[in-house]
Amino acid sequence: MKLMLLFFLMLSAAMTACQAETPSRPTVKSTSMQNASHPSNPYYSRTDTTKLELPDTVWKKVLPPELYPVARQGATEPAFTGKYWDYEGIGTYFCAACGNSLFRSDAKFASTCGWPSFFETVRPGSVVYRKDTSFGMARTEVLCGRCGAHLGHLFDDGPPPTGKRFCMNSISLEFEPDHPETKKPQ
């Protein structure tokens, strides 16, 4: 009987030890610091370049209400109203919908059109193009290469070296300064 008791005591101790060593359940790890700043948008990432093909019903849920009509419905913000049209900070502009890198500040130029304007993208494929014949005009629409969000339009009246003008909506962009002390526009 004493042996049985001893056996059960040892078994109980072993089980307790096993439980203590059981790893805790894996937690969902944020892929980047920026995800933490976009808590309602699980698709936002500045490191993941996987293309996103999501229905507008999903974007409607995860995007800020003021961004949705521009990013998913092609609306244009009024000229001279966005926060970046005359901003000169040094850094990178990302897609506000998904975090994809789009433009560097050294490709931004002072444009009188009232929207932030760039003469080239940060890398090939960061944006994609679509023919836009709305409002009786033949224009080239510029969309995010990762999520397909509407960013603005491309024109051929830009400065050297490309002669291109990427005319963007401020609200579709998110600026990240190279130096953290740089003041971001509100």
Interface contacts to Fe ion, rule CB under 5 A: 95, 97-98, 100, 144, 146-147, 149
Query: Which residue's CB is nearer to Fe ion, number 3 or number 33?
Result: 33
Q: Could you confirm whether 144 is annotated as catalytic? A: no
Please report, for residues 94, 144, 148, the alpha-carbon distance to residue 126 in angstroms, rounded to integers and kept in the order given: 10, 7, 10
Q: Choose the catalytic residue: 98, 144, 147, 167.
A: 167
CA 81/CA 77 separation, integer angstroms: 7
| Sheet architecture: strand order including 91-95 | 101-104, 91-95, 173-177
Query: Which residue's CB is nearer to Fe ion, number 6 or number 130?
Result: 130
CB of 97 to Fe ion, least distance (A): 4
Query: Which residue's CB is nearer to Fe ion, number 144 or number 167?
Result: 144
CB of 93 to Fe ion, least distance (A): 11
CB of 94 to Fe ion, least distance (A): 8
Cα end-to-end span (Å), the chain: 78
Q: Residue 137 is encoded by which pair of tokens? A: 């005009």
- Contact assessment for residue 112 and residue 161, using Cβ atoms and an 8 Å cutoff: no
Catalytic positions, written as ranges: 167
